[in-house]
A and B are shown apart, each in its own frame.
Chain A
Amino acid sequence: MREELITTIESIAARYPDRRSALLPALHLVQRHNGGFVGSEDLAAVAELIGVPVSEAYGVQTYYSMFQRKPLGRYHLQVDTNIPAMLAGAQTIVAHLEKVLGIKVGETTPDGLFTLSTVECLASCGTCPVIQVNDRYFESMTPERTDALLASLRRGVMPDLPAPAHFGSTCNVLLARRGTPNAADIEVYLADGGYKALEKALGMTPEAVAAEVKASNVRGRGGAGFPAGVKWGFLARGTGKPTYLVCNADEGEPGTFKDRQIMEFDPHLLVEGMAISAYAIGANLAFIYIRGEFAWIADILERAIEQARAHGFLGTSIRGSGFALDIIVHLGAGAYVCGEETALIESLEGKRGNPRLKPPFPAVVGLYGSPTIVNNVETLASVPYIIEHGAAAFMRMGTANNFGPKIFGISGHVRRPGTYEYPLGTPLETLIEAAGGVVGELKAVIVGGLSVPILTAREAAGLALDYDSCLKRGTMLGSGGIMVMNETTSIPEVALRAIRFYAHESCGQCTPCRQGSHTVEKLLERIVSGLGTPADIDLVLQLCGRIKGSTLCPTGEAFAMPIEAMVTKFRAEFEALVS
C-alpha cells in the first residue's frame, strides 16, 4: 500500500476512541485509490494496519454492498429499483441501459467502461428514477437524460445534470432554508438567525436544556416515534465512561428522503441541533453516521463542521463556555440494517452491522461500551427551534402527544413528488394535494416508509399523519415516507420487490429473518411468476405471522408486517395469479 494512504489511514484512526472504527473509512479510501475494489493483498494490508484479523476484515468487507472484491467498469451505473423507483418507472431505465450498452444487469461492457447494477433505495424517491454513477447521483432520469449521461461519460466527463426537486413548507422550521441559495454556508445561516439557539442553550444548564426538550414531547423522527427527552433520561450516569451522541443519518428506509434535505441544504441546522443536544446530555464527542451513498453530502457536512469550528460553535470551548464538542462524520457502506441503532453502533465500531441483543440499550451500553444516545437527523434538527422558541411554541404545531413539524416525503403516483414540511396530524389528503394530487386513481398508500402496513384507499381516507392516528388505523407513521400507488400498480409485484429488498438487506444473524425473508421471497417469486398455488399464499401469511415478534431485532417485523398486510388486503390479486 502506498505510503500516503497509510499516513491518511493512521490519521483517520487517531480521530476515533478505538482505531478499529477506521476500518470502513480505510476500505473506502483504498477502494477509491485502487480503481474501485479491494483485493486480497490490500485487504490483508488494511487488516494489519487497523489491527484486526484478516477473517474479520473480510467479514466486514463482504457485509457491505458498496465494497467490491473485484474490479468493475470505470463507471459503475447503479439503478435504484426499489418500490418508489419502480413506481416511477426505473425498469424502463434498466431496460434502456441494457439495450444501449448491450449488457445485462451484473455485467461489464467489453471495453471496461460500464458496469450495470441494480441497487436498493438510494433515498431519491422524489426524484426517481435515479442512477448512481460511482459516487454521484443522477436523478429524474429519462431515456433521453440517460443517453446524455452516457455520452458525457464516454468522453470521460461526469456531467452536470441538475434535477429540480419539489419541496414546500408550512412550518418553516426544518425546510425553512430549503430554497435559499447557499444556505449550507455558515454566513447565510447566521444571517438567518442561526446558532442563536446554541448561544441560548449555553447560557442554560444542561439539565434545563434537556428538560425543555423533554417538555416539548418531541418524538423521534427515525421511525419509532419514541420521545427524545425520555430517551435522554435513560442515559447511564456516573459510569466513569464518556457519553456519546450519534446522529442516525443512514436514511435507508425505502420511501424516505427527508434527512438528506436537511443535511444537504441546511447542514448547520443539524450541527447546531447536535451541539445543543450534546451539551444537554454531556457528550464531548458526537458522530454523524451517514449512509455511504451520500458521500457528497458527507462532504457538505464536513465543510459545515469546519466552518462551525472556525466560528467557535464547535471545538474545545464553544463560545468560551468551557463546553467542548467535536463531530466526526462517518460513512456507512451500503447496508440498510445499519439504520437500526445497535447495528449502527456495531458498524461505527468497524464491525459487521449486526444488531445487538437488547437490553442493554445504547443509553446504558452503547458505542465502545459507553452510554450513547442515537437520534435521527430530523429529531436533532428540531432541537434548535425548541430551545430558541421554547417547548410551548413547538407544541403549537401538531396534535396532542404528536407535536411539532415533520418532513413528509411523498413519492410514487403523484404529480409533484417531493418533501413537504407540515405539522404532525396533517390529513393525508393535504399532503397529496401539496404534491400535486394523485396521477390516476388512488389504490393504496404506504405512509411510513416501506416497513409499515399498506393502507387501501378506503382505509387511508381522512388519515391524520401522526404517530397515534396511524397506529389506530393499523399502520405506523414510521419515517413519514409516503408512497402513493394508483390503479395501475400490481400489489403482488410490489410485495415481491419489497421482500427482495429485505432478503437482500437482512444481516443474516437470526433464523426467522435470514431464512424467513429468503423463503417468503421464493414463495412470492413463485406466485408472481404464475407457478404458485393457493397453499403458497397461506404459507406466506403463516410465515409472516410467526416471524413477527420472533426475531432478534425489529427488522423481522419490518418485512413481516407489510407483506402480511399486502397479501391480506389485496388477496384477490394474489389469488388471481395462482388460479
Chain B
Amino acid sequence: MHLTIDGRVVDAVAGQTVLDAARAAGIYIPALCYHPKTGKAGRCRACVVEVDGLRGLKESCALPVKDGMVVHTATPKVMETRRMVVDLLLAEGHHNCISCQANSSCELQDMVYHLGVERPSFLIESEPTPQDLSSPGIMREADKCIHCGRCVEACQNGVVNEVLAFAYRGSHARVVCDDDLPMGDSTCVQCGECVQVCPVGALVLRQPREQKIRPHETTATRITCPYCGVGCQIDLHTRDNRYVFAMAHENQWERQPNKAMLCIKGRFGLDFVDSPDRLRTPLVRRDGELVEASWDEALDLVAERLKAAKEQHGADSIGFFTSAKVSNEENYALGRFARAVIGTNNIDHCARL
C-alpha cells in the first residue's frame, strides 16, 4: 500500500505504523519512547503527526498505516508540540551534553538538533539527584531520565529480570530497582539490557566512561560472542584497536539468536582481549619449558602425536573435549574430526563436566 508523508508517496505494508513507514522511507520523526524491542508506549509524545481526516495530533508510533493515508510531520501544530516536549524534557532534567557519556549517541540530543533548538525556552529549578555508581557495570543518572519506560519494559518483559519499575507518580515518578535499592544492592544481574535500550545518558556503561571514551570515538566491529554457544551478535567497540565496550548488534535484531540482548559475560567480559596475560601464540613444551611456537609448528606437532597414538594404541585411546565457548559449527567440525578422521566416538563437551 502507499501513503503520503509530507507530500512524498511512500510504500508501506499492513501492520506497520506510520513511524515504521516514515523511517523506512528515510523520513525523520523523533520517537523517544518507542523502540522496536520494547514496542509502543505513547509516553514521550515526540512522534506526533497530523493526518488528513483525523482530528488532532496522533502518535505515529501507535498509528497503523492505511492505504492512501496523508500524513504531515511538520505542521505548525506538530512542530509546536515537539518543541514543547523538548522544552519540558530539558526543564525536568539536568542535561549537559558537554560532559555526558551519551553525547553523540543520544536520541534526545538528536531531536533537539533536528529541531534546531539553541536553548530551552524556560528554566525550572530543581535539585540534582546523585548518580548511582553502586553497581560494577552500569551508572544510573536519574537527572537525565526522560521517563520513556524502555528500560522498565526491557527488564520486566524482555530479559525478564524484573528489577526495574516506575515508582511514585507525576513529576516524582522515577525508575527504581526493586523497592528503591541502589542498583548494586538490588537483584540486578548486570545484563545491561536497560543500557542497550536507554535513548539518553540516564543509563550508561561504566567501562567506556572510566576510560573517558565516548561512543563517537570508537569503531564498532560485529563479532560473535566467544563465551557460549548461543552465538550472540555483538558490536565490539574499540579505539586504536583496543577494547572499549560491547553492545548487542541491533541490525536485524529479530533474526539474531540473542535478539540484541546480552548477558553479563558478553556485555562486560570481553575486556580480556587486551589482557597482557592473554596467550597470543601457541606454546609448545620443549625440555619441560613452554616456548612460543608458530601455528604450523604447533599443529604439525599435534598431528604427528595423534597419528602416533592412534597407530600405537588404537583410535579409542584418543578423546576430545570441545567447548561451550565455540560455535555450533566448530563443535560439529570437531565431532566430524573425531569420528571420521580419527575414528573414535570419544568426544564430549565442557558443559557436561
Contacts and interface: CB of A to CB of B under 8 A. Distances in A.
B91 interface: yes
Interface stretch (B157-165, B189-197, B257-265, B321-329): B157-165
A508 B176 CA distance: 14
Nearest to A502: B170
A515 B91 contact: yes
A508 B41 CA distance: 13
Contacts of A57: 179
Interface string B16-47: 00000000000000000000000010111110
A549 interface: yes
A372 to B, nearest CB: 20
B180 A58 contact: yes
Interface in B135-175: 146-147, 149, 156, 162-173
A504 B57 CA distance: 26
Contacts of A58: 165, 167, 176, 178-180
Interface string A109-149: 00000000000000000000000000000000000000000
A522 interface: yes
Interface residues of B, number: 44
Contacts of A514: 92, 147, 170-171, 173
A514 B91 CA distance: 12
A508 B178 contact: no
A480 B342 CA distance: 89
B318 interface: no
Interface string A500-513: 00011111111110
Given A58-B179, A550-B84, A357 B171 contact: no
B132 to A, nearest CB: 15
Interface string B51-62: 000001101001
Nearest to B77: A549
Contacts of A56: 156, 162, 165
A55 B171 contact: no
Interface in A28-72: 40, 43-44, 53-59, 62-63
B80 interface: yes
A91 interface: no
A518 B91 CA distance: 10
A59 B176 contact: yes
A252 to B, nearest CB: 14
Contacts of B169: 62-63, 335, 352, 505-508
Given A53-B156, A54-B179, A539-B122, A550 B81 contact: yes
B334 interface: no
A551 B58 CA distance: 10
Nearest to B93: A515
Interface string A294-327: 0000000000000000000000000000000000
A43 B180 CA distance: 12
A546 interface: yes
A539 B42 CA distance: 25
A551 B48 CA distance: 10
Contacts of B88: 511-512, 515-516, 519
Nearest to A536: B122
A40 B85 CA distance: 36
B48 A550 contact: yes
Interface in A264-309: none
Given A352-B169, A518-B124, A55 B176 contact: yes
Given A58-B167, A357-B42, A357-B59, A511 B147 contact: yes
B89 interface: yes
B57 A549 contact: yes
A403 B162 CA distance: 50
Interface residue tally on A, bucketed by range: 35 or more
A509 B88 CA distance: 13
Given A546-B84, A552-B45, A515 B179 contact: no
B202 interface: no
Contacts of B170: 503-508, 514, 517-518
B315 interface: no
A547 interface: yes
A270 B172 CA distance: 37
A509 B147 CA distance: 7
B236 interface: no
Interface in A539-573: 539, 543, 546-547, 549-552
A357 B40 contact: yes
A517 B92 CA distance: 11
Contacts of A512: 45, 81, 84-85, 88
B85 to A, nearest CB: 5
Contacts of A335: 169
A510 B45 contact: yes
Nearest to A357: B42
B56 A549 contact: yes
A511 B57 contact: no
Given A62-B167, A518-B171, A55 B57 contact: no
Given A53-B165, A518-B170, A40 B179 contact: yes
B177 interface: yes
B115 to A, nearest CB: 14
Contacts of A543: 84
Interface string A399-440: 000000000000000000000000000000000000000000
A551 B84 CA distance: 12
Interface in B81-98: 81, 84-85, 88-89, 91-92
Contacts of A506: 169-171
Interface in B110-149: 121-122, 124, 146-147, 149
Contacts of A518: 92, 124, 170-171
A381 B170 CA distance: 33
B321 to A, nearest CB: 39
A506 B171 CA distance: 8
B45 A546 contact: no
B166 A508 contact: yes
Contacts of A352: 166, 169
A53 B162 contact: yes
Nearest to B162: A53
Contacts of A40: 179
A508 B168 CA distance: 8
Most buried by A among B88, B91, B124: B88
B207 to A, nearest CB: 25
A53 B157 CA distance: 12
Contacts of B172: 508
A506 B219 CA distance: 43
B84 A547 contact: yes
B49 to A, nearest CB: 12
Given A63-B169, A511-B45, A546 B80 contact: yes
A21 to B, nearest CB: 18
B108 to A, nearest CB: 11
Contact of B85 (A508, A511, A519, A549): A511
B161 to A, nearest CB: 9
A341 to B, nearest CB: 16
A503 B165 contact: no
Given A62-B167, A352-B169, A516-B84, 5 more contacts: A58-B178, A507-B169, A507-B170, A511-B85, A512-B84
16 contacts: A55-B162, A56-B165, A57-B179, A59-B165, A59-B167, A62-B167, A62-B168, A503-B171, A505-B169, A506-B169, A511-B88, A515-B91, A516-B88, A518-B171, A550-B81, A550-B85
Interface of B: 40, 42-46, 48, 56-57, 59, 62, 80-81, 84-85, 88-89, 91-92, 121-122, 124, 146-147, 149, 156, 162-173, 176-180, 187
Interface of A: 40, 43-44, 53-59, 62-63, 335, 352, 357, 503-512, 514-519, 522, 539, 543, 546-547, 549-552
